[in-house]
Amino acid sequence: MTAANRFPGKLNLRTGKVDMSHGSGGRASAQLIEQLFVKHLDNPLLAQGNDGTVFPSPGEQLVMSTDSHVISPLFFPGGNIGSLAVHGTVNDLAMSGARPLYLSAGFILEEGFPLADLNTIVASMAQAATAAGVQIITGDTKVVEKGKGDGVFINTAGVGVVDSRRQISGERAQAGDVVIVSGSMGDHGVAIMSSRENLEFETTIESDSAALNGLIADMLATEADIHCLRDPTRGGLATTLNELAQQSGVGIKLKEQAIPIKPAVHAACELLGLDPLYVANEGKLICICPAKQAQQLLAVMRQHPLGSDAAIIGEVIEDPHHFVQMETAFGGNRIVDWLAGEQLPRIC
Amino acid sequence: MTAANRFPGKLNLRTGKVDMSHGSGGRASAQLIEQLFVKHLDNPLLAQGNDGTVFPSPGEQLVMSTDSHVISPLFFPGGNIGSLAVHGTVNDLAMSGARPLYLSAGFILEEGFPLADLNTIVASMAQAATAAGVQIITGDTKVVEKGKGDGVFINTAGVGVVDSRRQISGERAQAGDVVIVSGSMGDHGVAIMSSRENLEFETTIESDSAALNGLIADMLATEADIHCLRDPTRGGLATTLNELAQQSGVGIKLKEQAIPIKPAVHAACELLGLDPLYVANEGKLICICPAKQAQQLLAVMRQHPLGSDAAIIGEVIEDPHHFVQMETAFGGNRIVDWLAGEQLPRIC
Amino acid sequence: MCLAIPAEVISIDRDTDNASVAVGEVKKTVSLALVEDVNPGDFVLIHVGYALEKLDPEEAEKTLAIFAEMDAEMAPETTTVEGDRA
Amino acid sequence: MCLAIPAEVISIDRDTDNASVAVGEVKKTVSLALVEDVNPGDFVLIHVGYALEKLDPEEAEKTLAIFAEMDAEMAPETTTVEGDRA
Amino acid sequence: MKFIDEYRQQDVAKHIAKKIAAAVNPERSYHIMEFCGGHTHAIFRYGVQDLMPANVQYIHGPGCPVCVLPMGRIDMAIQLMKTEDVILCTYADMMRVPASGQESLLKLKAAGGDVRMVYSTQDALNIARNNPQRQVVFFAIGFETTTPPTAVAIKQAQAQNIENFSVFCNHVLTPAAMTGLLESPEVAQGDQVQIDGFLGPSHVSSIIGSKPYEFVPQTYGKPVVIAGFEPLDVMQATLMVINQINQNRAEVENEYSRVVTPEGNRKACALVDEVMTLRDSFEWRGLGFIANSALKIRPEFSQFDAEQRFACLRDSAYVIASDHKACECPSILRGVKKPTDCSLFGKACTPENPMGSCMVSSEGACAAYWSYGRFRDTHSTEVNCA
Amino acid sequence: MKFIDEYRQQDVAKHIAKKIAAAVNPERSYHIMEFCGGHTHAIFRYGVQDLMPANVQYIHGPGCPVCVLPMGRIDMAIQLMKTEDVILCTYADMMRVPASGQESLLKLKAAGGDVRMVYSTQDALNIARNNPQRQVVFFAIGFETTTPPTAVAIKQAQAQNIENFSVFCNHVLTPAAMTGLLESPEVAQGDQVQIDGFLGPSHVSSIIGSKPYEFVPQTYGKPVVIAGFEPLDVMQATLMVINQINQNRAEVENEYSRVVTPEGNRKACALVDEVMTLRDSFEWRGLGFIANSALKIRPEFSQFDAEQRFACLRDSAYVIASDHKACECPSILRGVKKPTDCSLFGKACTPENPMGSCMVSSEGACAAYWSYGRFRDTHSTEVNCA
Ligand code: SF4
Ligand code: SF4
Ligand SMILES: [Mg+2]
Ligand SMILES: [Mg+2]
Ligand SMILES: [Mg+2]
Ligand SMILES: [Mg+2]
Ligand SMILES: [Mg+2]
Ligand SMILES: [Mg+2]
Ligand SMILES: [Mg+2]
Ligand SMILES: [Mg+2]
Ligand SMILES: [Mg+2]
Ligand SMILES: [Mg+2]
């Protein structure tokens, strides 16, 4: 039975809008799933069409992660919420050293949301999933009344497989390790802020949103004993480093001059009074590893398109206070604290 | 390092409210996670505290499922969005014949939501997870501005393990099979409607929200070749049977008198002009199996507290139109169609 | 649209002219603004939150009796009145 | 609160009295309501969406020269002026 | 449930079915129009047709207030929402009714319009009380059943001085609809549609009584039996119509005597009469303009009359809107055509995506036929499942 | 970035540091108050203190508009939101400032109040244009830097007749604050706090010029050096103050000559003068009521004066509110105490949960000290990481 005769008429992807019936579980829901979601995301596992999707276990050690995406605006230079939702969870899986394989996708749509926009978003998800080598194998769609949502929220959860001998975790940083970042900080957050209605500045910066599993695969192929991997998303580099310092019970000492920041990001932050160390990223990672293996790792990272600007930005030290400190480019010292309050709302 | 000294002050669970900083990824986010989420949900896997959670693969054949929960009101007789979010995904996993094991939880909080309510909800999740024998092993929290959400939305995704020899799928119904339900229809939807502000009627009906994996384990322990399992949630019994008929390419013939419906549910539906066959459930299942194994299965189901009202309600027939038909209690015949439009909004 | 159902009056609040009525095991508050001489125990037809009219139990009995009436040419058959759901 | 930064005027819309200004590679529109005689190429100090004042390049040079000045008792040292980020 | 379950018994149904089978003259056919959508719904939902002899046919009538409201009035409500900052309250049934240009209140709401579904006029009053700075308009539709609750709300708004509340009154009168139907060329000339008798309104009659239908047998010579909406009521009333036909009688009989009296509910009628008065003329979908067929708010209550308060609701602003070209609702509402005669039925037009009003309400003939009855019809089912 | 990067060079910083080290008299200490929060922020963010000799100490001044606004004024804005259906627009810095009874604008917003963060007075005007049916109030705070944009908006509202726009004016004057500070007992008597000289405001001075500070050396005998907010500006100005002290000079010098002139921006001053006039007296957090220290809207523009439009904003409605008992903000703003002298610092009071205004703005002394500088202090760090 094809879509054409299962549902009288076709979903109006040009001018149609989400209405409450699309979330009712009834025929309108089924039509939306078939003519929009499955159209883009089709794969043999998703096609099982059951409440749960069955798949053969990919290995002995698995990893699971989830992220909800509530970004505003939904479309931004370099991506949209659809591609972001795939990258967000793929990256969180990859940060355990895992090979991400399967994603679920949960959509919360606001009544009145244009089907054309939803179509674009789901197409981006499909593209991002293919590029990252993952499959979206199960999903869910809910609709909330106008004024009870914000266009579309997307949750993704994912499963990946990891080599059982690997031990990559936020608690493994130790004095003598160095801190590497895979590229310039703050691109994603600045790209999003630039498209905010009430901020409105012009920049050539695009979001760095990307799947990092390829880069990580290359890193794992080296001899290096990677202690920690984490993507500095919400809260930026500063907050993520504080998390790691806290989790491992260490201090971190950064060198401001070593932190790669694009001039346009730097300028945008000056303009808005923000600190780029607190601006979100979605296609960058922090790697902590023993100092003696860092150069080798750095060389491999720089071979990968997503790691070409990789740099060592600091070192792990002993510190009973678990401070992240920084030698400023100016020559002084300061704490780089957790983000307090909110930097700017809703960047992932 | 304990929560008490990691964060100055304690989360105010009495009068505090969610604000944007709780979703910033900064220290306020970390405090919310530690003093509210982890407090209730704590388990060794969640305690890894990384972007992804590593766990040993539980078997050869796995199942994954997801559901977002956007129910209104959040608290209802018999449960709240927290317990519901656990049951929703546990049940979808169990409908593949799987043993549900691990859940992820993604929260989207609306600015201003009382932390006391969130605390109650997360406590219910923890309880429901323990009762169902599953662990919440990874999570995410986002905050949206007031007016861009509706208190709290919860996505859960889950992973379970299934016996490789099992083949339970919506496409396996065939003529000669019978249709069993595990209990009375419509309790959940009616319980929720009764607590809606503008509907307001009094009833003793409570939501049937429950985890069905225990009941299913008992069913799987029989010799019966279960063809299909599905929980008649959104869209109710009517819509779920239409899905199954469509997926298997069969017709279904129901006997209205055989369908268990509680008098109070029946009365509430009369009052509201609703058809109980379209009202949502969250602790009931539909089972389709060969007629000759039905009595045995039924007997086992009735031994289980969640299956005590189990009943055979109809049979699978050949029908090129894939209609679900029903012999009415009145003695006539009618179609039981897919839900059209929406029954009532937001019941799961 | 003209959906209306019989409900038993459980109690009356004379101040607000509202009644609590029961449809089977379910209770609801409705307005009595459109009806007169209603007392607890009466059945009223309720529609969009209002009692529209009282039901006449005697007439109801008569109608049921007519349903059960034998035609000259027909054989006798069971016609006891009972609910269709236990 | 008093955050204000120097920006180069790129173009001026005399109708709206707004200017497009550049901070490094980033552009933004600001109001010129508070300043006079501004031309493209000028630098202005911008604050909450307004140009507050023009910058005086000569004075800036002088200040930089003072920064670099040797005190009598000090040995000479590198003082070339350049950005701290390439 | 007392007064409900008794009227749904299978054994009694079989018994009445036998009596009908025995009563009908096999030489002739019986075309009985069930006036109300409530009857239509009961016939399909309970499968009453299956219990009828082949020569007893139901013809679905115009008695669905959602179905007969002309598009022009919905267009007005939409126009109101677009030009004024009002909260529009209405019963759920109205949300999906198609208006001109593919609009509907549901789409307006999805686009951000403040449309609120209410279950009672009391809810609308409460919304007005809780939003004193907003204009709250109740989009009132319905037959005589639904009119008294509107009148009560207007009286309360006056008594409690709820200044921001008003009513866009679209209440219509069933006897006038019957006249319109019986005067329509196809019915009057009897060549296109044959109606041998009527199942008369149940809940409408609880308010206005059975007397107002006496002109039907008197002027048009057709029997009317007031029938409840439970399936046994429908069957018994059908038997009573058949008996009248067989006996060449034409009178108003009352099967629904447990609720309906000849005079109806005088208190309710007096309230309506106090607050509302006849309109000279009102358009009905399918029946055109019918004189004295609808109510408007009396000048004494003009403060609460949305047509007085908002220019875009004035009579002078009314524009006759044409239904979808291929939609047969007008003919279906006159009993001239069946849903399956419409080329859009089950294709472009389904309850998910209604092209005409008869597909919207579950009491509309097209919706009832599609949702409950289409297994009887190869044509339509093949459309769905080739 | 031109005019930015040049003022942040490490090698130049080292060079100036050497000059300062060479300049200071090891026999004495130098207590220099940086007047502005912008200076405070730069000192901490860039680690300027690390480049100073031990006997050069910065004392953090009251130059943070968020910090000095008394709670009573925020209480008024909250009262306005609670009693009137207004949209309140304000700069982001104001959102988290604690008001009486644990309230704040952020909490009000989370509870459903329509508070909008704006980046410019132009945004507030746009919100008024886009919401013609709502009252839009701009909660204006700030020193002379931020005042002219408010004046422009009021002029535009008048010219374009934007009737639903008004301004709750809380603009204050820095020279008055300096007087208040220098007249405070602890400073005037010099027994509790010693101030040897000032780094004078940079951006405020771009508007009002350097002349208004001449009373400080003239009347109080203390040197003032107008200093930019870049770290090299702060260092150079520090050197200049030290030189004045060493040479027993007390005058106003201008390090920030690339922007600041003696007279300032006459156009901006004239605009402010056209729209606003002096208040007799205004309360400052930490400094109490200071005569002629703030601005109000002139009667000619009273139409846009929220204090005229809303009764709850009238002077007569002002209630002096007491800060949290243990909060030392008042003393900190007078330079009498340091953040670490407060018993709440880093315990009950952090940027996530500020108990006083100095912990809110990143320019507040407590926030700057906590976020950038607490590694220097064993006491505070132990609180965080026992
Ligand atoms: S099927 Fe649709 S279009 Fe056709 S008559 Fe019915 S309502 Fe109108
Ligand atoms: S630490 Fe907090 S409470 Fe203490 S003085 Fe600073 S702002 Fe006030
Ligand atoms: Mg995650
Ligand atoms: Mg992520
Ligand atoms: Mg991450
Ligand atoms: Mg689902
Ligand atoms: Mg919204
Ligand atoms: Mg699911
Ligand atoms: Mg589920
Ligand atoms: Mg399910
Ligand atoms: Mg996350
Ligand atoms: Mg909301």
- In ligand 1, the atom with minimum distance to the C-alpha of E324 is 3
CA dist., res. A285 & res. B52, Å (int): 14
Contact: B51, A95; criterion CB under 8 Å? yes
Residues within 8 A of F (CB atoms), B 26-55 only: 26-28, 31
CA dist., res. A343 & res. A238, Å (int): 12
Strand partners, D31: D18, D50
Verify cis geometry, omega within 30 degrees of 0, for the bond prior to F175: no
> Which of C24, C50, C67 lies nearest to residue E232, judging by beta carbons?
C67
Ligand 11 centre and the CA of B146: distance in Å? 21
Q: By C-alpha distance, which of F173, F194, F163 is closest to F55?
A: F194
Asked if residue B229 lies in contact with residue B167, where contact means CB atoms within 8 angstroms, the answer is no
Q: How far is B27 from chain F (nearest CA, A)?
A: 8
pLDDT, tens only, A201-256: 888 899 999 999 999 999 999 999 999 999 999 999 999 999 999 999 999 999 99
Ligand 6 centre and the CA of F333: distance in Å? 57
The residue of chain B with its CA nearest to that of C84 is B329
- In ligand 1, the atom with minimum distance to the C-alpha of E345 is 1
- The reply to whether E291 falls in a domain is yes
Among C74-78, F68-72, F368-372, the least confident range: C74-78
CATH 3.90.650.10 at B177-335, yes or no: yes
Sign of dihedral through CA atoms F125, F126, F129, F130?
negative
Q: How far is E217 from chain C (nearest CA, A)?
A: 23
Q: Give the SS3 label for residue B278.
A: helix
pLDDT at position B180 over 60:
yes
Asked if residue A184 lies in contact with residue A176, where contact means CB atoms within 8 angstroms, the answer is no
Q: What's the confidence (pLDDT) of residue D74?
A: 53
Q: Which helix (H) or strand (E) holds E291?
A: strand E288-291
The sheet with strand E197-200 has its strands ordered as: E56-63, E30-36, E197-200, E224-226, E252-254
Longest dimension (CA), chain D: 56
Bigger pLDDT: E259 or B272? E259
> Which of E106, E110, E348 lies nearest to residue A8, judging by beta carbons?
E348
Written as one letter, the residue type at B267 is: A
Q: Does residue E358 have its Cβ closer than 6 Å to ligand 1?
A: yes
B325 touches chain E (CB under 8 A): yes
Asked if residue F359 lies in contact with residue F60, where contact means CB atoms within 8 angstroms, the answer is no
Q: Whose CA is nearest to atom 7 of ligand 1?
A: E356
Task: Report in angstroms the alpha-carbon separations of F298 from A245, E90, F121, F155, F306.
Answer: 55, 49, 18, 12, 12
Strand partners, E200: E226
Q: Give the SS3 label for residue B128.
A: helix
The CATH topology of domain B10-162 is 60s Ribosomal Protein L30; Chain: A; (3.30.1330)
CA dist., res. B180 & res. A236, Å (int): 53
pLDDT, tens only, B104-148: 999 999 999 999 999 999 999 999 999 999 999 999 999 999 999
Written as one letter, the residue type at F285 is: R
Q: What's the confidence (pLDDT) of residue A295?
A: 97
Q: What's the confidence (pLDDT) of residue F383?
A: 29
A264 touches chain D (CB under 8 A): yes
pLDDT, tens only, F376-385: 764 333 323 2
pLDDT at position F205 over 90:
yes
Dihedrals φ, ψ of B192, to 5°? -70, -45
Q: Give the SS3 label for residue B103.
A: strand
pLDDT, tens only, A46-76: 999 999 999 999 999 999 999 999 999 999 9
Asked if residue E377 lies in contact with residue B323, where contact means CB atoms within 8 angstroms, the answer is no
The residue of chain D with its CA nearest to that of F270 is D34
CA dist., res. F352 & res. F337, Å (int): 22
Give the start-to-end residue ranges of the domains of chain A: 10-162, 177-335
- The reply to whether F153 falls in a domain is yes
pLDDT, tens only, B39-69: 999 999 999 999 999 999 999 999 999 999 9
Q: By C-alpha distance, which of B271, B277, B255 is closest to B325?
A: B255
* Chain F interface test: which of A334, A338, A342, A346 (most F C-beta within 10 Å): A334
pLDDT, tens only, F151-195: 999 999 999 999 999 999 999 999 999 999 999 988 888 778 899
- The reply to whether F360 falls in a domain is no
> Which residues touch B156 (CB under 8 Å, ≥6 apart)?
B66, B67, B69, B85, B86, B88, B89, B103, B104, B105, B106, B136
> Model-level pTM?
0.93
Taking each helix axis as running N to C, give the angle between helix B213-220 and helix B291-303, from 0 to 180 degrees, rounded to the nearest 10: 130
Q: Say how many CA atoms lie within 13 Å of A305 toward its Cβ.
A: 5
Taking a 5 Å cut-off on Cβ, the residues next to ion ligand 4 are A 67, 88, 92
The residue of chain E with its CA nearest to that of C8 is E2
The residue of chain A with its CA nearest to that of B231 is A51
Q: Which residues of F182-192 are buried (b: 16+ CB within 10 A; e: fewer)?
A: bebebbeeeee
ipTM of the complex: 0.91
> What's the rounded mean pLDDT across residues E195-215?
97
> What's the rounded mean pLDDT across residues E254-282?
97
- The reply to whether F106 falls in a domain is yes
Written as one letter, the residue type at D33 is: A
> Which residues touch B340 (CB under 8 Å, ≥6 apart)?
A21, A26, A27, A28, E350, E351, E352, E367, E371
Provide the residue range defining the domain that includes F42: 1-324
Rounded to 5°, the CA angle A264-A268-A269 comes to 120
Residue with tokens 């279904």: B252
Verify cis geometry, omega within 30 degrees of 0, for the bond prior to E262: no
Q: Which helix (H) or strand (E) holds A79?
A: strand A79-80
Q: What's the confidence (pLDDT) of residue E385?
A: 26
Q: Pick left, alpha or beta for residue E184 (phi over 0 → left; psi -120 to 50 → alpha; otherwise beta).
A: beta
Asked if residue E275 lies in contact with residue E140, where contact means CB atoms within 8 angstroms, the answer is no
Q: By C-alpha distance, which of F341, F362, F359 is closest to F350?
A: F359
**CB-count burial class (<10 Å; 0-12, 13-18, 19+) for F27:** exposed
pLDDT, tens only, B198-231: 777 888 899 999 999 999 999 999 999 999 999 9
Residue A6 pLDDT class (50, 70, 90 cuts): low
> Which residues touch B295 (CB under 8 Å, ≥6 apart)?
none
Q: By C-alpha distance, which of A297, A290, A308, A313 is closest to A218?
A: A297
Ligand nearest to the CA of F329: 2
Task: Report in angstroms the alpha-carbon separations of B25 from A237, A342, B154, B210.
Answer: 11, 8, 18, 33
Q: What's the confidence (pLDDT) of residue D69?
A: 87
Q: What's the confidence (pLDDT) of residue C72?
A: 47
Asked if residue A237 lies in contact with residue A275, where contact means CB atoms within 8 angstroms, the answer is no
Give the domain CATH number at E212: 3.40.50.11740
Contact: A199, F119; criterion CB under 8 Å? yes
pLDDT at position A4 over 60:
no
List chains adjacent to chain C, taking adjacency as at least 3 C-beta pairs closer than 8 Å.
B, E
Q: Pick left, alpha or beta for residue B236 (phi over 0 → left; psi -120 to 50 → alpha; otherwise beta).
A: left
